[in-house]
Amino acid sequence: MASMSVKHAIAAAKKLRSLQERFNPGGSDIYPALMGDEAITALIPSGNPLSVHILMFTRALREQGTDEQYEKFGRRADNNEIIGTFAQTELGHGTYLRGLEARADYDRGTEEFVLNTPKLSSYKWWPGGLGQTCNYCIFVAQLYIDNEAKGMAMFVVQIRDEETHMPLPGVHVGEIGKKMGLNGVNNGFLGLKDYRVPRLNMLMRHQQVLPDGRFVKSPVSQVSYFPMVFVRCMVARQNSNYLAQAATIATRYSVIRRQSPIEEGQPEPKILEHLTQQMKVIPEIVTAVVYRLAAANLQNMYNETAEAVYRKDFSRLPELHALACILKVATSYDSTYGIERLRQACGGHGYLTAGNLGNIFAMAAPACTYEGENSVLYLQVGKILMKNWSQVLAGRELMPSMAYISECSKMTSFPQWTGSWECLLKAIQYACVGSIRLAFQSYNARVQSAQSQTAAVNYSGLELTKAAELHGRSYVAGNFYQQIVNSPNKHQRSPQFQKVLENMLELHLIQIFFRHLGDILRFIRITEDEISALQRRLEEVLKELRPDAVAITDAFDFNDKILSSALGCYDGNVYERLFEAALKHPLNRKSVPDFFEAHLKPFMKENADNAKKSKL
């Protein structure tokens, strides 16, 4: 599987390189080159052993290294002459970066760093491609000068000989073992013992160690976290993609499969005619669209911030960090939940490997963990919301994506309930701000009672997480509303297309309203009739969107090879493809399986003999 994945990945790398040259001549930002080409990763069902090379290794060299270091290492990496990974996580630490144990001691006598993973728990563990594919890595370690800790730093480390691929002296490297998915990625482990690299192998765009050992601190230490921010942005796009794939499969299957008459005596309908099936499938189609649009917005913001950081303007980093966290969490949680819901909507056949929904789930699910475990990132955002609420109390302006918090904070009560889109969106935002205010009261009381900030964050963690989740909902729903209602290109859309988009907006807002009804009722009075009216509208908009479900998923434009699903094939010949896949199973090569003579027959015979004996 590993070699097949590498073969596919190299083919994809070549395609990617040509896309880069076409879309972005001379540049190296893969994002424009990937427009519509995320499918590259989908073509490698067991995961891409080179994706960390592309997404993190090359970018870290470009964004964290000096121009000279880019010339020495980055250009070769961009050209895939060397293949690297991003080795940060350790067997003993992943989240708490300040607890990483790998160390780099500066030797001013030789102007080298001595790299060590001092204990088993210090071994790098998880980096994609590290096990067998990569010959280089970005090695993240705690920097020590004269045994004084200076914080995290990144080092370009060659781990295998470029000709023989043999691990170099002082390097202990290998594969960490089977996972629940992505088994073509060869996530690996890496131990280093007194491994020396030249001073200029430390990436020094933002912080430097001078030949005599003097340390020049980074103006903004968090800029060393920037490689993770990029992948969080990509995760938002990629996981919306996985959800769109699963929604396409389940929608197509739901208009092929017939089951259970709705009216007595009537023929069995397509299962998508059942209202409960519509409620399982159609909201996931809309969620995929909603997150695709939000991820595109975030990517634009990433590109702008990356350019600013290149100019040493770090002002937009905090907002990008907050949004990258919130979208990476919301998209990975909702896509994982949605893909499983879509699998269940396909009955037993959804559980067949030939349906590919299990593999799509296994590809999407780890995004809840890598690039920052989701609950930890929610706490990050909760902390940022606390800081911003202090700004609100001080009457200061907030970052654009949090402007609604200031507006809602000035409302003494929620206006008369109308049930309009604006009302629904405002209700979600108002509930979010109410949650922030309550979280702040708890958090601040703890800080005032002399708890440390980290302890106050921990003990207020449930309220911080809730506030962060509602902030994510507010941002995503607000972005979708703007794109549908206020987009500058709205007049270019046909009325029919605009109506479909507005139906999708209606469904998204009502669905989020019902998902957070408890949070909303805590701060807004809504009558039972007003809630029942929304229930009717939910049923109505599902019915309205039903005729468009196939067209919307066809517009995702996944070909059969990418979906790789007997349930979601474009021609709809589901049963023929399921049967074709079944007949290919190795167990069907012989009429009598080998285990019959070896195990089953003796077992049955022994039971029969025992039965006879017991009768005598």
Cβ neighbours of 474 (radius 10 Å)? 25
CB of 235 to ligand FAD, least distance (A): 11
- Cβ-Cβ contacts under 8 Å for 39 (sequence gap 6 or more): 558, 562
Q: Which residue has the tokens 């202990």?
A: 172
Task: Select the residue whose beta carbon is closest to ligand FAD and give its number.
Answer: 94
Rule CB under 6 A: say whether 45 interacts with ligand FAD: no
Rule CB under 6 A: say whether 95 interacts with ligand FAD: yes
- How far apart are alpha carbons 10 and 231 in whole angstroms? 20
Query: Using CB under 6 A, which of 384, 504, 541, 562 touches ligand LGZ2M252?
Result: 384
Residues 179-238, interacting with ligand LGZ2M252 (CB under 6 A) = 222, 225, 228-229, 231, 234-235, 238
- How far apart are alpha carbons 502 and 548 in whole angstroms? 13
**Phi and psi angles of residue 220, each rounded to the nearest 5 degrees, phi first:** -140, 105
Q: Could you say which of ligand LGZ2M252, ligand FAD, none residue 229 binds, taking C-beta under 5 to 8 angstroms by partner kind?
A: ligand LGZ2M252
- How far apart are alpha carbons 321 and 233 in whole angstroms? 10
- Cβ-Cβ contacts under 8 Å for 298 (sequence gap 6 or more): 233, 236, 323, 324, 327
Rule CB under 6 A: say whether 380 interacts with ligand FAD: no
Active site residue 371: yes
Residues 111-150, interacting with ligand FAD (CB under 6 A) = 126-128
Residues 269-328, interacting with ligand LGZ2M252 (CB under 6 A) = 317, 321
Q: Could you say which of ligand LGZ2M252, ligand FAD, none residue 50 binds, taking C-beta under 5 to 8 angstroms by partner kind?
A: ligand LGZ2M252
- How far apart are alpha carbons 137 and 102 in whole angstroms? 14
Burial of 77 (0-12, 13-18, 19+ CB in 10 A): buried
**Is residue 128 part of an annotated ligand binding site?**
yes
* Burial annotation 13-46 (CB, 10 A radius, 16+ → b, else e): beebbebbeebeeeebbbbebbeebbbbbbbbbb
Nearest to 470 by CA among 507, 510, 427, 418: 427
Rule CB under 6 A: say whether 370 interacts with ligand LGZ2M252: yes
Query: Using CB under 6 A, which of 3, 18, 79, 95 touches ligand LGZ2M252?
Result: 95
Query: Do residues 389 and 440 touch, judged by C-beta distance below 8 A?
Result: yes
Rule CB under 6 A: say whether 187 interacts with ligand FAD: yes
Q: Which of 63, 112, 284, 371 is catalytic?
A: 371
Closer by beta carbon to ligand LGZ2M252, 57 or else 404: 57
**Which positions touch ligand LGZ2M252 (CB under 6 A)?**
9, 12-13, 16, 34, 38, 40-41, 48, 50-55, 86, 88-89, 94-98, 128, 222, 225, 228-229, 231, 234-235, 238, 317, 321, 370-372, 376, 380, 384
Q: Which residues bind ligand FAD (CB under 6 A)?
A: 52, 85-89, 93-95, 126-128, 182, 187, 366, 369-370, 372-373, 375-376, 379
Annotated binding site: 89, 128
The catalytic site residues sit at 371
Binding-site positions for FAD: 89, 128
